[in-house]
Structure 1
Amino acid sequence: MFCGKCSLTARCVVLPLYEISTVVTGRHFSTTLNARMKKLIDSKQFRHALDIFDKQSHAADDFALNMALKACSNLPDYRRGLEIVRQLSPKSLNNPFIQTSLIHFYMKSGDLKSAIGLFNSIPVKTNPFYTTLFKGLTSMKKSKEVLNLYEQNKMKLDEGVFVMVSKACSEICDDRAKRIGKLLIDDLPEDLKGSEKAMNSTIFMLMKFGNVDEAEQLFRQMKHKSIYTYGAMMKGYNDNKKFEKTLDLFETLPFVADEAIYAMVLSACSQLTNDRARRIGKQLINDLPEDFKRSENVMNSTIFMLMKFGNVVEAEQLFRQMKHKTIYTYGAMMKGYNDNEMFEKVLDLHVNMPMAVDEVMHTILFSTCTRLSNDRALQIGKELLRKMNKPYYNNNIVITSAIHMLMKFDLVNDAERLFRQVKTKSALTYHAMINGYSQLDELDKCFQLFDQMKSDQILPNEVVFLSMIGVCAKIAIRSVSQSIVDQIPADLKSSRNIQNALISMAKNSSIGKSKEIFESLSDPDVVAYNSMINSYGLNGMGVEAVELYRRIPVDIRDEVSRICALNACSHAGLLNECRHIFDQIPHKTIKIVTTMVDCLSRLAMFDEAESVIEDYEKTNPPSSAMYTALLSGARNVRDSNLSNRIYKKMQQLFPDEKNTLIAGSVLLSNIYSSIGDHHRAGDIRTNRIKQFGYNVKVALSWTSVNNQLVRFKAHDHSHPQSEEIYEELQRLSCELREHGHTFDSSWITRPVKEDETVESVLCGHSEKLAIAFNFIQQPPPSIIQISKNLRICGDCHAATKLITKLRRCEIIIRDANRIHHFSNGKCSCQDHF
């Protein structure tokens, strides 16, 4: 029986007055406490809510306890939460609302064991329990556990379960996740088809699966769309690299854009960087609401976009205006400087950064040091590595960037030591080492590491195979290349990146194979066109390269297309075609101008080359690459006066570019050696060693016999068959002399010692050793393939032409500049090398 006045039981009529007063007062305190706590928690004042709870905990009912747990979860405050748990009565512990909040609290505090333990102890589990657990597991990056539990416990789909399971499917995005996601959509109850949250989650999931058409169809069918629906579509378009569609949707958006929409549209503009993107991006900045200027996400996205547009000054101005900068703001600036090749500014910003370097920042800075490659970069890079937190040593992305840096500085031992320290290596870690060895011409080590990777049961991914294809392209030996190609899985062979790389690789042994792969593509992209043009160019087929360049749709031609076409003209001596292509290029980048200078210099058109440089420097700072190309051309014609003038100018313009000056010094000393002035050449070498140390690249040649890769350096005696090799060299020398070959002393770049002759010095070149090694095989091969890390010298070039005629064989040599097909006394390069 209840009393109508006070809502207490009828027992109140026989209770003493003070007892009735206590009951009523307690209930009043409880109601007041609940209202105050709810108000504070709704306004995110969690600490204040807990302070009030502590003062009035004697009056707390299950509602207040539930609010207190939510406050602890949001702070999070694990210790305080456990104190509240200890206050819970057995009755409260069986309250479903308390149980749900407890699971949430444990999950937010990272106490997975307690959360699972409580969940398993609940005899009858309703959907809110599952939703809370799923949410916690997803936030802890344990989406696979969500799918496991969902498949094991077929619960009825409600909005909460659907949203969390579809989110788990989106994050995993493998075949199993796609199967479960499809079933979720098929089993979706009719009442949920009107749920905005469920529909937005479905769109998000479909976009993650790459099912853009299905997401668009669902979007069109939805009668009620919110700004979050548009946001899900835009994020999906961005994730699927359909940035134009993001802009299309933005321009029809029926709502005022919020921060998330702003950030996504700015991101799309950053990726496109076309006229439309620049117009919309500029409009977004002009219309930016004042409160958005305090949004870190929007400001960082704006900086990123401005940097992508090349508007570095505007980005810097915005950065200076920002009162509250986070590590992400500094990261956006550093990445922007990197993208705009302002590497010194990255290091300047790092030196003045007021916060500790995190994982992402380590990666950016290591990358900067790699690309800058000067003494300051080396010092900062090594210091970063020395101070790096131990947990980062198990982060494959950070370690990968560190290995790239160490390899770039030729610190191979340090890179190998770092590689060995990594406990859990990934394909990325192996890729960094393989890539580094390749850059340093340690090609045999690339193959050894590739084999070790398989022994460690780490499957090579697309990036690793792309690197190995690149190594094979350098080796340029058909049997070695084929052994790698045979290991590429069928699903990867259909990858456009792999196909384009194979076109590029095949050029070294068979231009016909390159053409076959290219023509098998139903819709070649610009990379495929570029690879094929480059293949023609390196094989001296300039006319075919130019014809294919003209076939590329104008709207997809890029910088690389133009560089490949210009290079092809250069290698084939097609000066008029080169000029015509260059004149038609609307925007001449630094790389395009450098390529034109290289082409003119190769053809000894020095006045015209210097004129191109002068025109470029009217509006741009000088480029060391252009002067290096000019100096290389002067070396080809042995013009010591021009070479000396160019090198002096390089010293004036680029005093801090160590590698550039080393390369220029090597070219200059070689020029003086080629005209017999060994004294002057020796002085230049001595000065270089004093200033920069001994940094000259060792000449190496590779060949393969019986599928075994063999490497030779100049005057190498390390091979077990060296005696036989040098005997064969002697026989070859005699044959060459008998048939009119004169060993050309101008290609000797050092003084001839007393116990040497011009012939013995030139016959010790690595490519001649590789040729002799092939001839001592039984039977001698009819086709010899050799790869060389430097340009073939003129004497070796002339000798190899004659050898193919005398020995009736074909010799293919891939040097640093091009591919030489020697046959019957002729070379495919027509002596344009």
Structure 2
Amino acid sequence: MMLNSLSRYLIQSFWKVDQRKYKYVSALLSSTSSSPSMKLNLNMKKLIDSQQYRQALAIFDRQISIGDQVTFTLALKACTKLNDYQYGIRIHQQLSLKALEDPYLQTSLIHFYMQCHNIDQADKIFSTKKNKTVYTYGAMFKGYISNNMPEKVIELFEKISIKIDEVIIILLFNACAKLCNNRAIKTGRDALNRLPTSFLQNQKLINAAIDMLMKFGDVNQAEVLFEKTQNKTLVTYGAMMQGYVTNNLSDKALDLFEKNPLKSNEVLYSIVYNACASLSNEKAIQLGKKIFDKMPKRYLHDNVLVNSTIHMFMSFGEIEIAENLFSHIKDKTSYTYGAMINGYKINQELQKCLLLFEEIKKENLIIEEPIFLSLIGACSQIGIRSICEHIVRQIPLSQPSIYLQNALIDMWGKSGDVNQAKQIFQSISQPEIISYNSMINVYARNGMGYEAIDLYNKIDENIRDKISHICVLNACSHSGLIDQAQMIFNKIEKKSVEIITTMIDCLSRMAMFDQAQKLIDDYEKSNSPDSIMYTAMLSGARNHRHLVLSEKLYNQMKSLFSNEKSDLISASILLSNTYSSLGHEQQGEAIRIDRIKQFGKNAKVGVSWTEVNGQLVRFHAHDRSHRQSNEIYAELERLSNELREHGYEYDSTWITRPLKDGETVESVLCGHSEKLAIAFNFIQHPRPSFIQITKNLRVCGDCHRATKLIAKIRQCDIIVRDANRIHHFHTNGQCSCQDHF
């Protein structure tokens, strides 16, 4: 959304090709001549200037007999503005052979046909023109860009044999920025390096160059150009700030916004709000709120800005502020609804996502693909098949984009429906690497390690990327395929910090801590320590209840990463849980108290979602807010009795806090949110064949063992998706994860 805002602003500044042609027309009209054609042209120009295009064409129709080339040029401009294809064709057909030789008329025709998406006709007019000018080349460049054919601009630029001007270079830079492949990067950089010194005085050209370089990821070169620029405009600052956001340097965008000496406009505010949203740290939250408070509220009439503002506050978790902004918008667009749906998704207000989608349908708004992508993202978070099916039925899937296909693969995978994900993947005739990665990740989450490895091996080695390696190693980790993981890891030439961390996680899950430590040691020989590596190893130590190692890793993290708040919170939770699982309640409580003193109560509350009879229901641990709460707890008692009859004993080592008065091991563990969701399903349908639950945290060992037995006793397939993976509990009492969780 934000990128569109800047692009719109840049395009308005750059694309002035037909203005030169229009200046020519204006010069002719400024003549003192009072011929009938001149009077006609003056009247038409006045109407066009005031955007009364139909009235201009009405005069043209009545007085066409006295018209000249300028008259036809003006009429074509009106048709182009109206996007009236048939009218423009009629004008073209009335032109004499002599008139068709006029360079300005030819340019107007090219511009008209490009605007109406008749590329072939524009190409034909251009190819038949013998003496091509920068105006005709400019019209072709502009047309190709507006028709999303930037590669054609580069092809045509390479054939130019006439002297070019700044406008041609501006359009070339814009095309290179859109395309951003190897050819575009080389062409754009070569053109920039060969620019005449006089061109570098053109601020619009500099803005285009900065935008292009930032799209190439060449931040340093863009910064050099920016610093050399004397007469910076708001567009210059906007191009730099948006470039920083695009290149994940949002902190630099905030710094530049504060240094900007010019009066900010709605575009800069939109960019800075997006920068704040992407960071969402303390500094960004304070700055974002401060800027919003000082911003002239008249800017809130700009829909793009409002969308960015909503996105920022949603990213801050300030749902009420975002909702208030949304409620005051009179003419809501589908994009505004999209910003709210995406915000609810970020904040896991998944029911509100679905309710807002129903509201969009009632408003009869056109639902664009970005909204469906947000909805699919929400469905992916919910991970409930029935809800996914409800949304997918409403998506036009005749020609889905690759982004939509990949989102659907991810969604079906996260809902545990591997077959649906596989069908979509197989429908893609030429899968790109992102499609392969999405499908490998589906296999990984669903405990299908061998299938993930098989698909990974089918990818050409030249196109595998970092994500491919991470996904397949993660699949091995969740399926206990340590030998296969090591073979894959050893073959990876460039091992990023994320790849190494995934391998550390894999080794730690299998209690191979010496090998995991060696990876950390080798990495730190030439790099600064990374907290995620230590967290991965600490998680494995907690799973295997390795207390000495857990204490050692936690103390190392406190020493090495004293300023990394979120990682230290995670580490303290893992250590306190390790203490509690071994019965060392005092040490566990001491760690919890210390964490609360330093960071506040930052531990997540366990939440589970399930869907019954078309309703999405959410439970938190020990929840008694549901109107059928008494029935739910009665069903839990029945389940407990059945479990005990089959020899089940509740595992107190999974309780991570001291028992309160009146609590028992059974009552605490039975209060976990996924067990409440399972019981709720059974009271709604006493003999269901299938239950599905999504949980925001990892499933504990007691719930995992109990759910396996419940599935067998009640002969009901149960799918539980936790924060790490998807567990398919089968009626034979087994889980797809084979206890690797």
| Distance 1:182-1:610 versus aligned 2 partners, 3 A rule | farther
Correspondence list, 1:362-761, <5 A:
362-489=269-396, 494-507=400-413, 508-552=415-459, 557-585=464-492, 588=495, 591-612=498-519, 623-761=530-668
| Cα contact 1:135–1:164 (8 A) shared by 2 | no
Distance 1:692 1:619, change over 3 A: same
Q: Distance in 1 between matches of 2:548 and 2:82?
A: 65
**Preserved CA contact (<8 Å) 1:537 1:571:** yes
Q: Cα gap change, 1:291/1:608 in structure 2, threshold over 3 Å: closer, same or farther?
A: farther
Q: Trace 1:229-378 onto structure 2 (pairs within 5 A).
A: 229-378=136-285
Q: 1:223 to 1:96 in 2, by over 3 A?
A: closer
The more displaced of 758-767 and 440-449 is 440-449
**Corresponding residue of 1:813:** 720
Query: In the TM superposition, what whole-angstrom CA distance separates every residue of 1:682-732 from its partner, at most 9, and x where no partner exists?
Result: 233333333333333222111111111111111111111111111111111
Q: What do the CA deviations read for 1:750-796 (whole angstroms, capped 9, x no partner)?
A: 11113111111111111111111111124431111111122222211
Please give the alpha-carbon distance, in whole angstroms, between the structure 1 residues aligned to 2:393 and 2:521: 50
1:832 matches 2:736:
no
CA displacement 1:495-549 (0-9 Å, x = unmatched):
4433332222222242112222232334444443333222222222222223333
CA distance in 2, matches of 1:212, 1:233: 9
CA distance change for structure 1 residues 354 and 515 in 2, over 3 Å: closer, same or farther?
Answer: same
Amino acid at match of 1:313: N
Question: Is 1:130 the equivalent of 2:44?
Answer: yes
Verify the 8 A CA contact 2:47 2:56 in the aligned structure 1. Answer: no
- 1:621 to 1:194, Cα distance in 2 relative to 1, 3 A: farther
For 1:801, the equivalent position in structure 2 comes to 708
Aligned partners of 1:545, 1:562: CA distance in 2, in Å? 11
Moved more, 618-627 or 823-832: 618-627
**Which of 153-162 and 361-370 deviates more?**
153-162
Take 1:603 and 1:418, find their aligned partners in 2: how far apart are those partners?
A: 50
In the TM superposition, residue 290 of structure 1 has moved relative to its aligned partner by 1.4
| TM alignment of 1:69-218, pairs within 5 A | 126-137=40-51, 146=53, 150=57, 154=61, 156=64, 160=70, 177=84, 190-208=97-115, 212=119, 215-218=122-125
The answer to whether the 8 A contact 2:409-2:439 is kept is yes
Count matched residues.
Answer: 711
CA drift at 1:378: 0.8
SS of alignment partner, residue 329 of structure 1? helix
Deviation per CA, 1:249-268: give whole Å up to 9, x if none.
33332134422232333344
Q: Cα distance 1:800–1:302, how it changes in 2: closer, same or farther (>3 A)?
A: same
Structure 1, residues 419-476: CA drift from partner, whole Å, max 9, x if none?
2222222222222222222222221121122223333443432111111112122222
Q: Is the 8 A contact 2:478 2:740 kept in 1?
A: yes
Distance in 1 separating the partners of 2:195 and 2:507? 50
Could you say which residue in structure 1 is the equivalent of 2:4?
none
Normalised TM-score (structure 1) = 0.77
Structure 1 gap segments, 5+ residues each:
1-41, 43-65, 72-91, 101-124, 138-144
The one-letter code of the counterpart of 1:699 is: G
Q: CA deviation at 1:665?
A: 3.3
Distance 2:156 2:175 in 1: 11
Task: Give CA-to-partner distance per residue, 1:20-50, whole Å, 9 cap, x none.
Answer: xxxxxxxxxxxxxxxxxxxxxx9xxxxxxxx
Q: CA offsets, 1:378-409, max 9 Å, x none?
A: 11000011112112212222122222221222
Does the 8 A contact of 1:170 with 1:208 survive in 2? yes
The answer to whether the Cα contact below 8 Å between 2:57 and 2:78 also exists between their aligned partners in 1 is: no
How far, CA to CA, are the matches of 2:152 and 2:526 in structure 1?
36
Q: Which amino acid aligns with 2:335?
A: L
Inter-partner Cα distance in structure 2 for 1:652 and 1:164: 73
Instruction: Report which of the two structures shows the higher radius of gyration computed on alpha carbons.
Output: 1
Aligned AA (1:357): S
Offset at 1:411? 1.5
Q: Against the structure 1 CA distance between its residues 433 and 679, is the aligned structure 2 distance closer, same or farther, given a 3 Å change threshold?
A: farther
What residue identity is the alignment partner of 1:671? T
Q: Residues 621 and 413 (structure 1 numbering): CA distance in 2 closer, same or farther, change over 3 Å?
A: farther
Q: Contact between 2:273 and 2:308, CA under 8 Å: does it hold in 1?
A: yes
Instruction: Tell which deviates more after alignment, 780-789 or 399-408.
Output: 399-408
Q: How far 1:204 sits from its partner (Å)?
A: 4.1
**How many percent of aligned residue pairs carry the same amino acid?**
49
Deviation at 1:478, TM superposition (A): 2.3
Tell me, yes or no, if the aligned pair for 1:540 and 1:568 is still in contact at 8 Å. Answer: yes
Alpha carbons of structure 1 residues 668 and 298: separation in structure 2 relative to 1, 3 Å: farther
Residue 152 of structure 1: how far off its partner (Å): 9.6
Q: Report how far residue 642 of structure 1 moved.
A: 3.7
Cα contact 2:416–2:446 (8 A) shared by 1:
no
Paired residue type of 1:444: Q
Which one is further off, 563-572 or 784-793? 563-572
| Deviation larger for 206-215 or 771-780 | 206-215
State how far apart, in whole Å, the 1-side matches of 2:491 and 2:143 are: 38
SS of the residue 1:820 aligns to: strand
Computed over aligned residues only, the root mean square deviation of the Cα atoms, in angstroms, reads: 3.5
Which sits farther off after the overlay, 580-589 or 393-402?
580-589
Matches of 2:686 and 2:266 in 1, distance apart?
57
Shift in Å at residue 165 of structure 1?
6.1
1:677 to 1:371, Cα distance in 2 relative to 1, 3 A: farther
Task: For 1:456 and 1:287, locate their aligned partners in 2 and report how far apart those are by CA, in whole Å.
Answer: 53
Residue pair 1:166, 1:205 contacting (<8 A) in 2 also: yes
Cα distance 1:314–1:500, how it changes in 2: closer, same or farther (>3 A)?
closer
Find the aligned partners of 1:168 and 1:644 in 2 and give their Cα distance: 76
CA separation in 2, counterparts of 1:183 and 1:662? 71
Q: CA distance change for structure 1 residues 253 and 407 in 2, over 3 Å: closer, same or farther?
A: same
> Equivalents in 2 of 1:678, 1:738: separation in Å?
30
Is the 2:508–2:541 Cα contact (8 Å) retained in structure 1? yes
| In structure 1, distance between residues paired with 2:684 and 2:155 | 66
CA–CA distance in structure 2, aligned partners of residues 649 and 367 of structure 1: 35
Contact 1:403 1:433 in 2 (8 A): yes
Unaligned runs of 5+ in 2: 1-19, 21-25
Alignment partners' CA distance in 2, 1:184 and 1:595: 65
Question: 1:434·1:446 contact (CA, 8 Å) conserved in 2?
Answer: yes
Is the CA contact 1:801–1:826 (under 8 Å) kept in the aligned structure 2? yes
**Which position in structure 1 is the counterpart of 2:11?**
none
Q: Match of 1:60?
A: none
- Say if 1:542 and 1:479 are closer, same or farther in 2 by CA, change over 3 A: same
Give the secondary structure class of the aligned counterpart of 1:702. Answer: strand
